[in-house]
Structure 1
Amino acid sequence: MAKMITSTNIPFTAMNKFILFLAVTAVLTSSCNPKEQPQEHGHPHEEPGGLEPLAYTLYSQYCEVFVEFKPLVVGSASKFATHVTVLGEQFSALSQGTVTVSLIMAGKGIRQKADKPSTPGIYRLALTPATAGIGKLVFDIKTKLYTDQLVIDSVQVYPDEKTAIAAQPEEAATGSDISYLKEQAWKVDFANEPARIEPFSDVIYTTGQVQPAPGDEVVVSATLDGIVQLGSRPLASGQAVKSGQTLLSINGKQLTENNLDVQLAKAQTDFERAKAAYERDQQLIAKQLTTGREVEASKAEFENTGKVLSSLSANYKVGGKSIPAPTSGFIRNVLVQSGQYVSQGESLFTITKNQSLVIRADVSQKDAGLVGQLRSASIRIPYNDKTISGEQLGAKILSYGRSADPQTGYLPVMLQVNNASELLPGTFVNVWLKTQPKATALVTRESALIEEQGNFYVYVQTAGESFQKREVKTGKRDGEKVQILSGVRPGERVVTKGGYQIRLSSLSGALPAHGHEH
């Protein structure tokens, strides 16, 4: 069953928008142009004492339905302006799919189906009741991805318009409600969600530095003395490499000492000599002309010279050797230049696999009591203002200092995370270190907060196109969610994306052309 955040007292919001529109139109007509102005919003003029429209907002797992219609009267067609919003990280208008509205009374029903919206997100439907009484309205939505059903229970069908008008309650004051239409929300990055009571952690907020994970880096060293020769495409930090890919070569042809060509020729000669000796001893042992110990000695010499030859000849080219990448990854830094002399064992470059990273976070001594309880963390990357949750990072606490760093006075906490493309070793990030959740709190997303002169506000959706600006008192934050101490009640839908657009719209006072009709 879908949730309704409004009831039959909400229709006054739609009426207020209509009255506001008439007032603006009247001012423009009288002050700017004496000619009759066209009606943009599609609301017909209501006669004094006429039927006022009803408005309902329904939520399901997949969508939001905001519908406006006149009270149902026997023999009279009620038109339904049905706005269907697809829920998700960003709310959007339903552009493909069918919507059917049904009026069910005493097991019998009437229905109408719209195969496509008249404009994206808005479906035009109408019903003409045949009998008076109490029924329910059912909205069936069918798309390629899902089917959905939203229900308005206890809908009154009146025998005539006079009875319906007499049953209308007096118009209630809307207070500080702000009108923000679906057509506006569908054009921007907009979303909302209910404030929820859920487990929440103790949090330590600090900064941290991204570092390579132990064992995630490989330092490649020179295998001989010589002169470095880089290829036509010099190595650069951040360059992707594959295992076995030739990165540079070392040429020792000009060297008088430790010349590779000389060493390789000697190794080849030693290998051939040891091979001949071993083969000879094998023949002699068969004739019992030598001892087993001598055969074992010649065999060992043969194997050792073979290993030396294999090592020197690996990746050999005339005058030098090529140096391949021992693993796939990214060049972190290049430690040599073309033409530079290097000695055997000298570091040439570093390759990082970048599969995982370590973040060193420095914790103040006042939070020392929580350090041993830390379980996870969220981080925010300052240069793109992106927050990544601990679940996305696969974050886990590697270790923490049992004593303060003598230079900084802080307790170091080492946090291992999966690599994300935005994380760069050496950079600094904001860190929210979190303990195991051990208490519940009313929370909403931190993106919902709007700061003005040191105070925090959120926008709460009170009806389909009505919002209230609420000042809130905040508690703990974990980088993703914030504890709300006052200003919002559990279940109220808080705008998590698009709050600034609502604020700008309220300041301008302008309403776009509306597609509602009743």
Structure 2
Amino acid sequence: MTVQAGIIGGGRRPLSILLAMLGPVLLSACGGEAEPPAAPQPVLTVEVISPQRETWPDALVASGEVAAWQEAVIGAEVGGVRLDEVLVNVGDSVRKGQLLARFSEDSLRADLARLDAMVAEASANLEKARADAARADRLESLDAMAKQTGQMYRTQARVAEAQLASAQAQHRAQALKLRYARVVAPDDGVISGRAATVGAVSPMGTELFRMVRRNRLEWRAEVTANAMQRLQPGASATLTTLDGRTVAGKLRQLSPTVDSGTRNGLAYVDLPADSGLAAGMYLTGRFALPAREALTVPEAAIVQRDGNQYLMQVDGQSRVHLVKVGTGRRQGESIELQGRVDPAARYVKSGGAFLSEGVLVQVVPAGPAP
């Protein structure tokens, strides 16, 4: 009995120590109080801005071909005659009436001489016929000739008159052919094409040369039907050449119709003579339009994602939301917004590419505008 009591009595102290060690564990398992979660932290410090309304000069961008204002086709006005001489080449500047080419005149002069003889013969026949008719009139008045015979002489005189007129007409036509053997420029301009070949015998109407009249070029800009309504004759246009130069022009007129396939019309812009351009060039240019209002933000506020453009809107709890927008004109470091945009909302000024939907940011006042 004594031994058992000592064991029990001596075992109380280790048990109390074990209970003291297990106490916190038991309390935690029974739902004791835990530490609170940490508060969310901003992922980025940003400046915010609101869109501004500004009045910007407007412009319309278009592309089109440079072409001749008018192109003259110079053809052969005589046929079956050899071309003896060609005096100009492509690119030559010519004056109105300047000799460009010459056909052989030998056969034409021979035909003209033959017609000279025909005119002389017809004239002599007419004189004889008129003398016979006058004599017949006198004899008929004396009843020395039958009226039928007198009428015959008068008819022969009229036939002789017609034969003379015919010979004279043929003579004038042949004289024109001889004149047309000398091919001259119909106006001032620049030779843009040459088909004339020395020694060629061509039919009448064959094209010999093409010429840009007055060396005057125009830009035929292709614009949409809606854009045509914003253009007026007299508007200024600025073309950008292939080497980066600019050429100023003026809108002369708009085409009265639009293409049924592309729904585009043409704007005809007169170009200066010293533009250095050539027909056939395809250039881009801008038409100056009256100024209009624009809703703008700094270009750095626009974020490109998946082929779309976004603004990062910051709500009242400093959380970010993506707002899809469209853009238009650019001026300096600003860009025009298009579509439905709340002008009173706050948007991230820059650095929006590092943000995503719903993240928390720290907002600081925006610095001075550039």
- In structure 2, the CA distance between the partners of 1:413 and 1:312, relative to structure 1 (3 Å rule), is closer
Determine the structure 2 residue equivalent to 1:269.
117
With 396-405 and 274-283 compared, the bigger mean Cα shift is at: 274-283
CA positional deviation for 1:296: 5.8
* Aligned-partner Cα distance in 2 for 1:271–1:308: 13
**C-alpha contact (below 8 Å) 1:212/1:354 kept by paired residues:** no
Larger gyration radius, structure 1 or structure 2? 2
* Aligned-partner Cα distance in 1 for 2:194–2:252: 31
Q: Which amino acid aligns with 2:259?
A: S
Determine helix, strand or coil for the equivalent of 1:290: helix
Determine the structure 2 residue equivalent to 1:370.
227
CA positional deviation for 1:284: 6.2
Determine helix, strand or coil for the equivalent of 1:439: strand
**C-alpha contact (below 8 Å) 2:240/2:285 kept by paired residues:** no
* Aligned-partner Cα distance in 1 for 2:212–2:271: 13
Asked whether 1:229 is paired with 2:94, we answer: no
- In structure 2, the CA distance between the partners of 1:198 and 1:330, relative to structure 1 (3 Å rule), is farther
How many residues of Structure 1 are paired with residues of Structure 2 in the alignment? 231
Determine the structure 2 residue equivalent to 1:205.
61
Q: Which amino acid aligns with 2:179?
A: A
- In structure 2, the CA distance between the partners of 1:295 and 1:410, relative to structure 1 (3 Å rule), is same
Determine the structure 2 residue equivalent to 1:220.
75
- In structure 2, the CA distance between the partners of 1:228 and 1:368, relative to structure 1 (3 Å rule), is same
Q: Mapping of 1:56-135 within 5 angstroms?
A: none
Greater relative contact order (Cα < 8 A, sep 6+): 2
Q: Mapping of 1:123-272 within 5 angstroms?
A: 200-201=57-58, 203-214=59-70, 216-231=71-86, 234-251=87-104, 259-272=107-120
Determine the structure 2 residue equivalent to 1:426.
280
* Aligned-partner Cα distance in 1 for 2:254–2:128: 60
Determine helix, strand or coil for the equivalent of 1:394: strand
**C-alpha contact (below 8 Å) 2:239/2:247 kept by paired residues:** yes
CA deviations over 1:59-87 (Å, ceiling 9, x no partner):
xxxxxxxxxxxxxxxxxxxxxxxxxxxxx
CA positional deviation for 1:361: 2.4
CA positional deviation for 1:293: 5.2
Determine helix, strand or coil for the equivalent of 1:395: strand
* Aligned-partner Cα distance in 2 for 1:433–1:400: 19
1:290 maps to which of 154, 167, 170: 154
**C-alpha contact (below 8 Å) 2:112/2:175 kept by paired residues:** no
Determine the structure 2 residue equivalent to 1:20.
none
Q: Taking structure 2 as the reference length, what is the TM-score of the superposition?
A: 0.51
In structure 1, stretches of 5+ residues that fail to align are 1-196, 254-258, 316-320, 443-473, 477-481, 488-518
Q: Which amino acid aligns with 2:162?
A: A
* Aligned-partner Cα distance in 1 for 2:197–2:113: 29
**C-alpha contact (below 8 Å) 1:242/1:329 kept by paired residues:** yes
Q: Taking structure 1 as the reference length, what is the TM-score of the superposition?
A: 0.38
- In structure 2, the CA distance between the partners of 1:324 and 1:369, relative to structure 1 (3 Å rule), is closer
**C-alpha contact (below 8 Å) 1:199/1:439 kept by paired residues:** yes
* Aligned-partner Cα distance in 1 for 2:251–2:133: 65
Asked whether 1:346 is paired with 2:212, we answer: no
1:379 maps to which of 213, 229, 238: 238
* Aligned-partner Cα distance in 2 for 1:199–1:286: 93
- In structure 2, the CA distance between the partners of 1:296 and 1:373, relative to structure 1 (3 Å rule), is farther
* Aligned-partner Cα distance in 2 for 1:427–1:330: 17
Determine the structure 1 residue equivalent to 2:19.
none
Determine helix, strand or coil for the equivalent of 1:207: strand
1:439 maps to which of 286, 289, 292: 292
Q: Which amino acid aligns with 1:312?
A: K
Determine helix, strand or coil for the equivalent of 2:112: helix
CA deviations over 1:78-122 (Å, ceiling 9, x no partner):
xxxxxxxxxxxxxxxxxxxxxxxxxxxxxxxxxxxxxxxxxxxxx
* Aligned-partner Cα distance in 1 for 2:331–2:61: 15
Determine the structure 2 residue equivalent to 1:326.
186
Determine the structure 1 residue equivalent to 2:252.
396
Higher-helix-fraction structure: 2
> What is the percentage of aligned positions where both structures have the same residue?
20
In structure 2, stretches of 5+ residues that fail to align are 1-53, 138-152, 296-326, 336-370
- In structure 2, the CA distance between the partners of 1:226 and 1:198, relative to structure 1 (3 Å rule), is farther
**C-alpha contact (below 8 Å) 1:217/1:351 kept by paired residues:** yes
* Aligned-partner Cα distance in 1 for 2:158–2:272: 56
